[in-house]
Amino acid sequence: MQCTTNRAGHDCTFMGKDGCTFLGGACFEVVEKCEGCSRIVTTDAGRFCGVYPHPEMKWKRGICNFATHVKKEIKKADQKINPLKAAKRASRGR
């Protein structure tokens, strides 16, 4: 349904027949960490996230998973090496 509050005209899943069902009845504005993200939507009411109604909460536990301007670093797990197989591989010349 189309938003009639802060992001008027944009489709939103929180919009119902009785208005916005999200916390407080409207979206929250983007936070400083959102700067540079392409999902920011600017309306007459301010700057909001196009995909999440409460941007501050998205940054509470680290990097926002919807962010387009920063990427989460994925750590490679230390690979366990079987010494017997490693020796065998080495003897074969690999």
Residue 27 backbone zone (phi > 0: left; psi -120 to 50: alpha; other: beta): beta
Asked if residues 31 and 58 have their Cβ atoms less than 8 Å apart, the reply is no
Is 3 a residue that touches ligand SF4 (CB under 6 A)? no
Stretch that binds ligand SF4, among 2-10, 14-22, 62-70, 80-88 (CB under 6 A): 62-70
Residue count at the site for ligand SF4 (CB under 6 A)? 13
Could you say which of 14, 29, 40, 43 contacts ligand SF4 (CB under 6 A)? 40
Is 28 a residue that touches ligand SF4 (CB under 6 A)? no
Query: C-alpha 48: how far from its chain's center?
Result: 14
C-alpha closest to that of 30 among 11, 6, 10, 13 = 6
- Closer CB to ligand SF4, 15 or 34, in the complex: 34
Cα angle 37, 29, 56; round to 5 = 75
Asked if residues 34 and 49 have their Cβ atoms less than 8 Å apart, the reply is yes
Stretch that binds ligand SF4, among 5-13, 19-27, 31-39, 86-94 (CB under 6 A): 31-39
Footprint of ligand SF4 (CB under 6 A): 30, 34, 37, 39-40, 49, 51-52, 55, 58, 64, 66-67
